[in-house]
Amino acid sequence: MTSQTLAASLRADAQGRLDQLPYGRLLDLSFEKSGDEVQLLMPYAPGLVGAPGRLHGGAIAGLLEIAALARVITTLPDGQPLPRIRPVTITVDFMREGTPVQTIAAAEITRLGRRIANVAVRAWQADRARPIAGANVNFLLDYPDQPKAP
């Protein structure tokens, strides 16, 4: 599936799956929209365990990155070609252990420029006020018709 198809699904549907992304399919991710917020849901699976009884940090970081990407896609204007969106920097802060239950993540755009998007993401389990991890993600937006920097 192309990023345009993913964008169409995220923009049009109130809920759905992210099977278009191979890592999203591996993590069994789905999404729900409420207003302009997109929440990603990652159900617990035994394959996501790192240390016994704890989610693997890579699974949590992947969830955070995909949540940030989904937020950028849903924020960009409809009807225009989607840029190539490439992560430049991802800084993850693990705040508490992830337990074997569903994990939810949502992102907020802190700055959206012509070439760069800065996104803050939080992941939680039972209580949104007690996040298990957070991330700051910087994406490079590479539009097909933009002149390349020297």
Q: Tell me the residue range of the domain where 136 lies.
A: 3-142
Residue 150 located in a structural domain: no
Residue 102 located in a structural domain: yes
The CATH number linked to 17 is 3.10.129.10
Query: pLDDT per residue over 41-78, tens digit each?
Result: 999 999 899 888 899 999 999 999 999 999 999 898 88
Residue 122 located in a structural domain: yes
- Contacts of residue 19, defined as CB under 8 A and 6 or more positions apart, other chains included, come to 25
Residue 8 located in a structural domain: yes
CA torsion, ordered 35, 136, 97, 63, to nearest 10 deg: 60
* Collapsed DSSP state (helix, strand, coil) of residue 26: helix
Residue 83 located in a structural domain: yes
Residue 55 located in a structural domain: yes
Nearest Cα neighbor of 125 from 48, 23, 18 is: 48
Binning pLDDT at 50, 70 and 90, where does residue 149 land?
low
Residue 75 located in a structural domain: yes
pTM for this model (two decimals): 0.89
What is the number of structural domains in the chain?
A: 1
Query: pLDDT per residue over 8-22, tens digit each?
Result: 777 776 778 887 788
Query: pLDDT per residue over 74-132, tens digit each?
Result: 898 887 788 999 999 999 999 999 999 999 999 999 999 999 999 999 999 999 999 99
Q: Which helix (H) or strand (E) holds 3?
A: helix 3-12
> What is the Cβ-side half-sphere exposure of residue 62, based on CA atoms within 13 angstroms?
18
